[in-house]
Structure formats: structure tokens, C-alpha cells
Structure 1
């Protein structure tokens, strides 16, 4: 009898232990799910807020009232939407350096501003997009990229989106998206005509107003998320603006 009671007690203890472990595991899973849901909710809220700011900027750029109309002059402006504060900046895109057309010395000048090994990374950019497989003295071609994990190949064509720069030797997300300027994303473009590095203090001589057919960059920051869009001003079309490029990122 006592043997049976002992076995029963051991069985009960095992059941209690298993139930306790199940409760702990379930609690951890619930906390993980709740935390993930809260994180998703914050991200979705920032996303919607930033795009609301982008649409608001497009509207204010074309207001008929000159006092209320925004000028694409690079001035940082503040918006409040649903009680949240946004920073918005609109500026001409053609003043930035075009990485598809710039020469090595111009690229090196911009890369030096963001603290990179200027000559090495400039040559790596040129190697990444040229058609041959012969690396420049400080550059990198297919042999280098095939040795990475995972391996990949240079695009051997002009860059199509700015994110492709992340695959170039010497460039990472911190350089492209960092929170504090200068960040590479702010200095280069694929849609402007400039092939030489802008000089310090250089400004556009024309009046800061929208020009038909010209590209403009709109940057909206919620404090956590940044949305950047390059749009073309086409006043005689239904949408007035055509989006050429758009990206979202969390500054590091």
C-alpha cells in the first residue's frame, strides 16, 4: 500500500512540475507575442504617420497661396499630425552628386565627408558598376565578392536604386543611413546631373520654386522612422508629381 502511495506521490509531483513548466513557457510565449505585437503597432504607426507627412508636403508645395506654399529650399519644417511631430525637408535633387556619372575624384570627395577610405571605396564603386572584371588598384571585382558569405557578383551596370551601394566593398548600413549627418544617402543621387562634388556653401542661383520636369527630394522623419522620396514635378499631369524612388529606414 505504502509503495502505491509513494508512486502516486511521485506521479503527482511530476504532474505539478510539468504544469509549472507549461505555465512558465506559456507566459514567456505570451510576453513574446505581446511584445512583438506592440513593436509591430509602433512600426505601423510610424509608417502611416511618415507617409501622411509625405502627402501633406506634396500638397503644400502646390498651394495657390504664396504665403502658405512651401518652397523646395532645403529648410526643415515641422508638421503635427494626430498629435505627433514630424520633421520635413524638401530640396532639389539635381544638386547632389550622381554616383552613376561622377568621376573617381568627385566620388572620393563625398566619401571622405562620411569618413570612409575615400580612394578605396570610390574605386570599388566604379568597379561594381563597370562592365569589365579587372579591379582598379584599390577597388574590388567579382573575385572579392565571390569570396564573401554569401557570395554575390557586382551588378556591372549603372546603379538602379541607392540601396545597391550597400553591396559595395566598404559601404554598410551605418554609412548610408546613420542618424547624425553626414550620411551618404543625403549626399548622392541617381537622378541628378551633377558630376563634380558641390563646393561648401554653394547654393542654387535660381529662385527656390518648383520647376517642371525637375526632381525633388522629400525627407520625412517621425523621430524613429525616416521616409525619403524623390519625385518629379509634372504640373500638367493628373498626379502633378511622379515618384521616382522611395525608401524607408530607421536611422542608426
Structure 2
């Protein structure tokens, strides 16, 4: 009996030992698998970061090259219709084909800030028009004046309260409290959300896509304008934005008269004071995976969903200034998770090709 008990005890010990060893082997295998997965993700992350940094460097080089003098005797590249396209107008958010070889899995988009509304150069009367359009056709004039007063108090050089405005007492009562700037220029477009009433006014607007605080120009270049900026301008609706995008996919706007070819006269009166044709030296460079563009080429059935993915994507963004061909770009802002502006292709046909321009309609 004693021998049987001893054998039973040994069997139990063997079974427990087997269980413990099984658990140890399972834990060890799990740790090894997790370590391998972590190492793979680390390697992939490093490769992705290297690809992004390389793409940003190539975009910077492209911008620097555009500042170089055109060699004497160089032939101009013409479109299929025989038109010369202004190279600097490529920097309007379209997917770029660079002079230097780039990664096929990476898309590079450059936005010239001449295509945005400059908050530091907007006159009071234009700001009022911007506010009125954003509030809608049934806006309250008193609300407009309150917003203008709040803007004035934020950007003036004193702490005196404008009637209907907001100064230190109001901002110190908030949670958390802060102090109004009391200087004319904003440091960033996000600062507009700190001004009383403006956070609500532009709650549904991608501020980085619509506005800028860089440069000296007050006008918006229609060849470079983002959808977000155009939609804020007086006289512009979604249909007109798509016609502008369709037009500039085929040719450049060079004069106000050419814009008038697709913009009805009554809207042109409101819109023309906002427009100009200068470029700037400030650019937002976005780098993101090219998957959605590959999908969009698979067929028209997938185009809408592909465009939606582009709009929903976030991208690595650098805001840079390129002054000349003799120096590197100066980087002002980096955002690894920036919201990509609306970069979908024109959702309308070329208005000149289809005869839907304002001139044709008149």
C-alpha cells in the first residue's frame, strides 16, 4: 500500500511539473511572439518615418528649385491644348510628381498659403462680410458687431473695452483663464478660437485649410485656393467651388476676366475684391499614404469611397518658408496628425468644355 501511495504521489508531482512546464513554455512563447511583433512594428515604424522624412526633403527641394532662374533657351512645357501652365500653381494641394524620384507608396501635397484667407491682413470691412456669410442669410446685425468688437479688442494695443467686445475681465473669468493678445497679428490660425464668439462661428471649419497668418498678401489666389477658403468667400457656393476646381484642372486663371467666364456677374461683384494672383513663400507640405489614390484608379464605383478616405485621412504636415534657392527652408510648424484639406478631384465638369460658364449662360 505504501508503495502504491508513493507511486501516486510521484505521478501527481509529475503531472504538476508537466503543467508548470506547459505554462512556462506558453508564457515564453507568448513573450517571444510579442517581442517579434514589437520588433517588426518598430522596424516598420522606422521605415515609415524615414519615408516621410525623405518625402518632405524632396518637397523642400522642389520648392527651392522653383526659386531658381529658368535657364536661357529652356523649352516651355505645354499642355495637350497648347497652353503653358504656371509651375508655381502646382502647389494647390494636387498630388505632385516631383523632379526627384519619390516613393510610390507616399503622396506629397503642397499648399501655397496664397490660397488661404490671411487673418493678419484682412480689413475690417472684409472681416464683416466673412462673419455675415458664416452666420447665414438671417444673421443678426448686433451679433456681427459683437464679433467685430471682440476681434478689435483682441488685436488692438490696449486694454480698453470696445462696446460689445471682450477684454481681460471676460477672458480671466473663463476656465481656464487667459489673457487677450492685444497685438495686431495672430501667431497661429488656432488662436482665432480663443477670441470670444469665433470658436462657435468657425466650429465646423478646418482652420488650417481655410486660413493663414503668414505672408503680406490679403488676396486669395483662385489657382491655389483650398475648398475650405473658397467656401468662406462672399458670392461663392459649393457649385461654384467645383466649377473653379474643374476649370483649374485644365488651365490657369490669369486675370479677373477669366474668372468672370465661369462666375455670374452678381456673384463676381462680391468675389472679385478678395482675389489676386500672387504666390507666397509659405507652404504647408502634407505627406500621407497613397493607397486611396490607387483605389480611386480601380474604377468609378470606388471613387466616392476613395475620396472620402482622402478627406478622413490625417497626414504628416510641415509648415515651411522658402525664401530663395540659396538657403534651406525654415520650418515653423510640424504636425504628425494634421487633418488633410479636402483634396478630392473636381466634382463638376469643366465649365468651358460643357458650355456652363456664366458667359455661355448669358
Q: TM-score with structure 1 length normalisation? A: 0.61
Bigger CA drift: 163-172 or 19-28?
Answer: 163-172
Alignment correspondent of 1:229:
319
Q: Aligned pair 1:87/2:127, yes or no? A: no
Contact 1:160/1:190 (CA < 8 Å) preserved in 2? yes
Higher mean C-alpha deviation, range 80-89 or range 101-110: 101-110
Q: 1:248 to 1:44 in 2, by over 3 A?
A: farther
Unaligned runs of 5+ in 1: 147-151, 177-181, 210-214
* 8 A contact 1:106–1:195 mirrored in 2: no
Cα deviation, residue 17, structure 1: 1.1
Q: Deviation at 1:8? A: 3.0
Instruction: Please report how far the alpha carbon of residue 166 of structure 1 lies from its aligned counterpart in structure 2 after TM superposition.
Output: 7.0
More deviation, 126-135/184-193: 126-135
Q: Which has the higher helix share?
A: 2
CA contact (8 A) 1:218 1:229 kept: yes
1:247 aligns with 2:334: yes
Q: Is the 8 A contact 1:54 1:218 kept in 2?
A: no
- Greater Rg by CA: 2
Q: Does 1:96 align with 2:117?
A: yes
2:281 partner SS:
strand
Which residue of 65, 70, 77 maps to 2:87? Answer: 70
1:10 Cα offset (Å): 0.7
Whole-angstrom CA distance in 2 between matches of 1:162 and 1:21: 51
Distance change >3 Å, CA 132–CA 10, structure 1 → 2: farther
Whether the 8 Å contact between 1:219 and 1:227 is mirrored in structure 2 is yes
Instruction: Name 1:144's counterpart in structure 2.
Output: 174
2:48 corresponds to 1:28: no
Higher strand residue share: 1
Name whichever of 43-52 and 186-195 sits farther off: 186-195
1:220 is the counterpart of 2:285: yes
CA–CA distance in structure 2, aligned partners of residues 122 and 233 of structure 1: 34
Task: Say whether 1:203 aligns with 2:309.
Answer: no
Whether contact under 8 Å (1:98, 1:189) holds in the other structure is yes
Residue in structure 2 matching 1:48, options 54, 67, 91: 54
Q: Paired residue for 1:15, among 11, 21, 25?
A: 21
Contact (CA 8 Å) 1:111, 1:184: kept in 2 or not?
A: no
Residues 230 and 6 (structure 1), Cα distance of their counterparts in 2 relative to 1, 3 Å cut: closer
Normalised to the residue count of structure 2, the TM-score between the two structures is 0.46
Alpha-carbon shift at residue 49 of structure 1 (Å) = 0.6
How far apart are residue 28 of structure 1 and its match?
A: 2.5
The alpha-carbon deviation at position 23 of structure 1 amounts to 1.4
CA distance in structure 1 between the partners assigned to 2:199 and 2:57 by the alignment: 28
Q: What displacement does 1:35 show? A: 2.0
Q: C-alpha separation between the residues in 1 aligned to 2:31 and 2:160?
A: 54
Matched residues, number: 227
Matches within 5 A, 1:124-203: 136=166, 141-146=171-176, 153-154=178-179, 156=181, 158=183, 159-162=186-189, 183-193=206-216, 200=271, 202-203=274-275
Question: How far apart are the structure 2 equivalents of 1:61 and 1:216?
Answer: 10
